[in-house]
A and B are shown apart, each in its own frame.
Chain A
Amino acid sequence: MIMINKIAENIYELPIGHKAGMRVPGRIFVSEELLKMVEPGTIDQVANVATLPGIVKYSMAMPDAHLGYGFPIGGVAAFRQEGGIISPGGVGFDINCGVRLLRSDLEAKTAAPLISALIDSLFQAVPSGLGATGRLRATEKQLTEAFVAGAKWAVEDGYGVKADLEHCEEEGHMKGADPSQVSLKARKRGRPQLGTLGSGNHFLEIQRVEEIFDQAVAERFGLFPGQITVMIHCGSRGAGHQICTDHLEVLGKAVRKYNIDIPDRQLACAPLGTPEAEHYFGAMVCAANYAWANRQVISHWTREVFDKYFGNPKLDLVYDVAHNVAKIEEHSIDGSKEALYVHRKGATRAFGPSREEVPAAYKDVGQPVLIPGSMGTPSYVLCGKDQASDLTFGSACHGAGRIMSRSQALKRFAGKEVKAALSRGGIVVRSTSPAMLAEEAPQVYKPSHEVVEVVHRLGIATKVAKLVPLGVSKG
């Protein structure tokens, strides 16, 4: 029997006594309905994270929380520099998997007859699926530049404009990259894949703004009803996956060297300030920057396709968020400011207007928080609030969250039927794999509106706009 106490509406606490070694309680931010969907394994993973040294306040789970490995998906935890740790288990293999949103000046009614052709062209222009290699053919030098300078490198190399960087988390490149900590194996996987979407839940989607909840903020974000937007969801590809694999081995040894008790080997970690911790951080930043470069290059190719169809339409970046990453951020602990290592694994930053990290264009309202739906369900744009800093270290959910396993989905759905059902709903889908469509059927995810509603009601981030899919290109 799991004892979970309701603290307030949409906030539940997992007491320290739940598992031996817990240093702080767990906090799960869900509605009563969503709590019923949280698997016992997920709650166990929240408890596991709570045992890690130097954890501050709570081991947290966002409203889309579900079973992961190491941290749960939707897991957020912050660690003190003194006595704290860094763990790839709190970041994941797909370092800086994230989402970006582009806004056009096109109306859906103009674009509607062309969606099918447009998706075909995007499916061609942006390589995806198994064995996909980029059109980029990056050199070793370009790869290193992508590791160090991320989207900034891509823009300087002609893939985009300076304004893209001004509308991107970390301006598209985190500081602290150390390419000497990236193995030859990671380079070998990453180099041909720069400029590829990947597969699984990654996608490139054409959307229509269906509803505006907050007119003033929507205007600031450049969104209006009936507008065509493009959402890109992908990460650091094989480079990030290999960097995580390589450093897990080192950190697995570090756990023994520094005598740290961990309840799950995926939570391998090292005390902050040790060489092992610094090496992982330096390599992780390289992968994070690679992912921003990747999304930037894909945006450029998307613009090229739009240019062919619509002349020279606007396709400006609204924002780009990382949802698998560890960052050094200042937060207020017991009244004083402290620099913490905040891990977000399947969680999006949701900073309000008082944070200096929010781009100048959004300084007075807060950052855009992008919450993708599944293939058939709406995505949401929210606006980060200062209140989130106290509640969740400035974090929100990252998507709808899965509810059904891939094997169950394959038993229940056929790819062809999923595609036909989406098509009846007016959504065009292109994929390299019918099985993938079954595994990613809309029904395998929690209802996105319910997850978003919890974030809104808690005041972590408030709803600005609802975007519905018109066409999707998947791996």
Chain B
Amino acid sequence: MKAFEYLEHTADVKFRAYGRDPVEMLENAALALMNTMADISSVRLKESWSTELEAADLEHLAYDWLSELIFLSETEAALFSSFQIKLEQNQQWRLAVDLYGEKIDLGRHAFKNAVKAVTWHEFQVKKNEMWCMQVVLDV
């Protein structure tokens, strides 16, 4: 199984992330996003952060999760390359994540693109044989 793949888009970055379950899909989508910013293989697991999110459905939770990643990366000046994700569904969908990575060091991290935001354009979360989420990022 591919974790994620980038698709063609004239100006922005479009990707699909896959998973055997929603947790794996959300993890792979996070990796695809971080890999848009920098080469994630160069990001060491030196520090950890945590966050919690809540949304009415999985699709909104997935959108909020990627938006939160951009917010955290920017405000903590950090890159993340590993995620421990807990997902719960009661009346609301709830996500609790521990993120691992390190502070941005342009001397060590091969910087690619700053990501401005996650767009709703063609945003999709669906399950066929696998869970798949499609995202267009504004870069």
Which of A's residues lie within 8 Å of B, judged by CB? Answer: 39, 66-70, 73, 92-94, 129-131, 133, 185, 188-189, 198-200, 238, 241-242, 244-245, 248, 252, 264-266, 268, 402-408, 432-433, 435-436, 439, 475
- Which of A66, A406, A432 lies at the interface centre, i.e. has the most chain B CB atoms within 10 A of its CB? A406
Cα A69 to Cα B116 in complex, Å, equals 13
A405 touches B10 (CB 8 A): yes
Check B8 for interface membership: any CB of A closer than 8 A. Answer: yes
Given A200-B113, A406-B139, A436-B112: A245 and B8 interface contact (C-beta under 8 Å): no
8 Å CB contact of A245 from B10, B114, B118, B139? B118
Of residues 88 through 139 on chain B, the ones whose CB sits less than 8 Å from some CB of chain A are: 104, 106, 109-114, 116-123, 136, 138-139
B74 touches A435 (CB 8 A): no
Cα A73 to Cα B119 in complex, Å, equals 14
A268 touches B9 (CB 8 A): no
Cα A130 to Cα B103 in complex, Å, equals 11
B71 touches A185 (CB 8 A): yes
> How many residues on the B side are at the interface (Cβ–Cβ under 8 A)?
34
> Within 8 Å CB of A68, what residues of B?
11-12, 121
Check B45 for interface membership: any CB of A closer than 8 A. Answer: no
A93 touches B120 (CB 8 A): no
Tell me how far the C-beta of B121 lies from the nearest C-beta in chain A, rounded to whole angstroms.
3
A403 touches B10 (CB 8 A): yes
Check B53 for interface membership: any CB of A closer than 8 A. Answer: no
A404 touches B10 (CB 8 A): yes
- Which of B70, B121, B122 lies at the interface centre, i.e. has the most chain A CB atoms within 10 A of its CB? B121
Check B49 for interface membership: any CB of A closer than 8 A. Answer: no
> Within 8 Å CB of A435, what residues of B?
110-113
B138 touches A94 (CB 8 A): yes
B75 touches A265 (CB 8 A): no
> Within 8 Å CB of A264, what residues of B?
120-122
> Within 8 Å CB of A245, what residues of B?
67, 117-118
B112 touches A241 (CB 8 A): no
Cα A407 to Cα B112 in complex, Å, equals 12
Q: List 8 A-B contacts (CB under 8 A).
A: A66-B10, A66-B11, A69-B138, A130-B37, A406-B11, A406-B12, A433-B110, A439-B113
> Within 8 Å CB of B114, what residues of A?
129-130, 198-200, 475
A70 touches B38 (CB 8 A): no
Given A241-B116, A264-B120, A266-B120: A406 and B138 interface contact (C-beta under 8 Å): no
